[in-house]
Amino acid sequence: MFLQQLVNALWLGSVYALFALGYTLVFGVLDILNLAHGAVFMWGAFFGLMAVTRLDMPIWAALLVAMLGSGVLGIVLDRVAFRPLRKRNAPQLAAIISSIGASTILVSLAQGAFGAQVSRFPLDALPSQVFITGPVRVTLIQIIVFVASVVLMIALLLFMRRSRSGKAMRAVAYSGRISALLGINVDRIIVTTFFVSSALAGASGVFLGLAFSAISPFMGAPIELKGLAVIILGGLGNVPGAILAGFLLAATEVFGVAYVSSDFRDAIAFTVLILVLLFRPSGILGTAVERRA
């Protein structure tokens, strides 16, 4: 029982972490709370689904298509919803509102295009092996999702630490103005940030669509809200914090459902969210930041 829950927590946590990573990255670099991240996640799942059903692609190629598609969608999102506000130097609040509008548009577009019903990946497109060792049951899908998510996370961390773009991204996160003075092309870094963040959202959309075998225009909303709990728990803008918090939240949910009650499964994330806001608003790995006028 315990081991089985641990396995469930690990793969679910890897998806939460992957989703929250892009969420927190945009906040870290741009100070924007992008509430359309869940909608991009949902479109990623549909891009993957289209690639498999319409173009007969294997699942790994569909994943690449989904990441590319949602990455580009992220850039469009920035152009339409955020860039005009940035140019005007509008308050943070305006960007949140704009992202809510973008999210509504993306969800209703998907609803119009794919209908409100739940779609799923065709069964023959997926490996269906199940491994049973002792009391623990793991599907190959869960293993693939976990490994692929972890690989993507490590790739992002390396990208942030080692590559020139990644370093520039961290510089822009520290101060856009100073980075511009140092000759960093801030516009390009912002585009990169949105691409990377949205591509990760798209990948997690495909993963969750695979693991739960359910894709619908409304699949973004629940994870959007759980992602909020994750990024608050990890500390807003904190990338390693989001990874840790993703696994923590998944573990809390999985063990909470197993040992306490399943009725309040969806409330667990928000209870965590509100408790963190009450007692440690800077998150588990965060440090308090003093803001100046």
In the bound state with other proteins, the residue whose beta carbon lies nearer, of 88 and 164, is 88
User: Considering only residues 61, 214, 221, 258, which one is a binding residue for other proteins as defined by CB under 8 A?
Assistant: 221
Tokens representing 177 are 């103005």
In the bound state with other proteins, the residue whose beta carbon lies nearer, of 82 and 146, is 82
Stretch that binds other proteins, among 42-50, 61-69, 108-116, 168-176 (CB under 8 A): 108-116
In a 3-state reduction of DSSP, which class is residue 57?
Answer: coil
User: Could you give the CA distance from residue 204 to residue 185 in angstroms, rounded to a whole number?
Assistant: 29
Residue with tokens 């892009």: 22
Given a contact cutoff of 8 angstroms between Cβ atoms, the answer to whether 207 and 149 are in contact is: yes
The identity of residue 137, as a single letter, is: R
Nearest to 142 by CA among 262, 250, 23: 250
In the bound state with other proteins, the residue whose beta carbon lies nearer, of 164 and 292, is 292
In the bound state with other proteins, the residue whose beta carbon lies nearer, of 48 and 237, is 237
Q: Which of residues 74-103 bind other proteins (CB under 8 A)?
A: 80-81, 84-85, 88, 90-94, 96-98, 100-103
User: Could you give the CA distance from residue 40 to residue 257 in angstroms, rounded to a whole number?
Assistant: 28
For residue 231, count CB atoms less than 10 angstroms from its CB and return exposed for 0-12, middle for 13-18, buried for 19 or more.
buried
Q: Which of residues 186-215 bind other proteins (CB under 8 A)?
A: none
Given a contact cutoff of 8 angstroms between Cβ atoms, the answer to whether 21 and 223 are in contact is: no
CB of 133 to other proteins, least distance (A): 35
Site string for other proteins, 134-163 (x = CB under 8 A): ------------------------------
In the bound state with other proteins, the residue whose beta carbon lies nearer, of 55 and 109, is 109
Count of residues near other proteins by CB under 8 A = 49
Tokens representing 59 are 């699942």
In the bound state with other proteins, the residue whose beta carbon lies nearer, of 140 and 274, is 274
Q: Which of residues 224-253 bind other proteins (CB under 8 A)?
A: 225, 228-229, 232, 236
Cross-strand pairs, 119: 215
- Side-chain half-sphere of 170: how many Cα atoms within 13 Å? 13
CB of 193 to other proteins, least distance (A): 18
User: Could you give the CA distance from residue 17 to residue 11 in angstroms, rounded to a whole number?
Assistant: 10
Site string for other proteins, 23-62 (x = CB under 8 A): ----------x-----------------------------
Given a contact cutoff of 8 angstroms between Cβ atoms, the answer to whether 21 and 242 are in contact is: yes
CA 243 to chain centroid: 10
In the bound state with other proteins, the residue whose beta carbon lies nearer, of 158 and 274, is 274
Query: Which positions lie near other proteins, rule CB under 8 A?
Result: 33, 80-81, 84-85, 88, 90-94, 96-98, 100-109, 111-112, 115-116, 221, 225, 228-229, 232, 236, 261, 263-264, 266-267, 269-271, 273-274, 277-278, 281, 291, 293
